[in-house]
Amino acid sequence: MKKLLVIAALLSLTACSKVSIENYEKISVGMEKAELEKVLGSADSCEEKTLHTNCVWGNESKNITVTLVSDRVTLFSKKGL
């Protein structure tokens, strides 16, 4: 019974994840960072470069990666969705 409850809890957490194909499809080139964060929440990690910032939502096996220039989306990709 405990195993069933743990599995149900994990599934409900996964279902609440903002890293989904539905949210990925809401992203568009030119979207402002604030609007992006309304869709995906805060990034799990961001790396500042000289002219751009790379941000990742999710983990190594399931994620959305976005490149921002002047706080606007210029590139985005998905993995494991």
* CATH number of the domain to which 66 belongs: 3.30.1450.10
50 in any annotated domain? yes
32 in any annotated domain? yes
Q: pLDDT digits over 11-31, tens only?
A: 444 446 899 999 999 999 999
Contacts of 37 (CB under 8 A, 6+ apart): 43
Confidence of residue 56 (pLDDT cuts 50, 70, 90): very high
**Total domain count, the chain:** 1
Would you say residue 7 has pLDDT above 50? no
Contact 27/64 with Cβ under 8 angstroms?
yes
Would you say residue 64 has pLDDT above 80? yes
Residue 29 is predicted with a pLDDT of 98
Would you say residue 32 has pLDDT above 70? yes
Contact 69/63 with Cβ under 8 angstroms?
no
Contact 57/44 with Cβ under 8 angstroms?
yes
Contacts of 38 (CB under 8 A, 6+ apart): none
